[in-house]
Amino acid sequence: AVLPALALGAGLLAAAWRWLRGKARALTAGSMRGKTVIITGANSGLGRAAAAELLRMRARVIMGCRDRARAERAAREIRAEVGERAEGEGELVVRELDLASLRSVRAFCHRVLQEESRLDVLINNAGVFQCPYMKTEDGFEMQFGVNHLGHFLLTNLLLGLLKNSAPSRVVVVSSKLYKYGEINFEDLNSEISYNKSFCYSRSKLANILFARELARRLEGTGVTVNSLHPGIVRTNLGRHVNIPLLAKPLFNLVSWAFFKTPLEGAQTSIYLASSPDVEGVTGKYFGDCKEEELLPKAMDDLVARKLWDISEVMVGLLK
């Protein structure tokens, strides 16, 4: 009798918390008409939610996704949710992009540069979370390769278009888990040791350091760069996390009650991509649409520059 009572109490508490927190309000007051936005990993989770909201705001949204079939299906669903609009009132475009393949990143950028006359916003959203040890097509540890190096190359190849489209914005999705990461230059590829949690945190710290260094390099160009953490969100990002079968009902209840929905989690990405409040703001870190402080290790400019230099060599921008 005790366990059912506890479960009922937890359920009522969870429901009350959800009610108090309320549903996220989409930032659809502004307009992104005439703006072109690229979102990586836009077929699910945060990326999908951001794509839908920016489409509502009349942006031309390019979904850069690894699985084209899943992306096309997501695009059809988003169009149905948002509703058909008149020509010039927003557009959703699917393009194949596998961040675990530098060849794919280069092909994606080549097509964008051929087909797009402008790029107003780049949202580096896609990510891999705590996967078993595996390597990308180019031999990089998967989390560091996808979360940092793939986006590093993507952004660099699109910088010319971003500059020509200024004022423009780069938005980098990181995580609060950066706090547990360290940039170990002796083992960036985790050849000596691998811990899936620490390596994820390392990749998210690398995201912030990259955004900080990129913002410094782009001063005066009209291109702003900011990073963010979305909070704890119910997405398929945690598919590699094993939860004991008996604990799943409790986990599902807790996640329903206390985790953000994808739309709630995407609000800061949408805000940084579209809000006039952050026009000209660069090199900052945000959470819940507000600027937040970083730990000193995420503001170490010497480490950021060294990471940049090594990343250039790793992705083939420099020999």
Q: Using CA atoms, how far apart are residues 187 and 44, in angstroms rounded to an integer?
A: 32
Look at the alpha carbons of 274, 276, 282, 285 in this order and tell me if their dihedral is positive or negative: negative
> Which residue type, as a one-letter code, is found at position 249?
P
Q: Using CA atoms, how far apart are residues 44 and 50, in angstroms rounded to an integer?
A: 10
Beta bridge partners of 171: 123, 226
Where does 189-266 have alpha helices with state H?
196-217, 248-258, 262-265
Q: Using CA atoms, how far apart are residues 267 and 283, in angstroms rounded to an integer?
A: 19
| Parallel, antiparallel or unpaired: strands 290-291 and 285-287 | antiparallel
Let me know if 200 is a catalytic residue: yes
Distance set, CA 188 to CA 82, 91, 145, 219 (Å): 42, 39, 10, 28
Q: Whose CA is closest to 226, among 305, 294, 165?
A: 294
Beta bridge partners of 39: 63, 123
Distance set, CA 98 to CA 109, 162, 188 (Å): 12, 21, 21
Q: Which of 178, 194, 200, 285 is catalytic?
A: 200
Q: Whose CA is closest to 210, among 306, 93, 314, 136?
A: 306
Residue appearing with tokens 């080549």: 110
The answer to whether the CB of 120 falls within 8 A of the CB of 35 is: yes
SS3 179: helix
Q: Which residues are catalytic?
A: 200
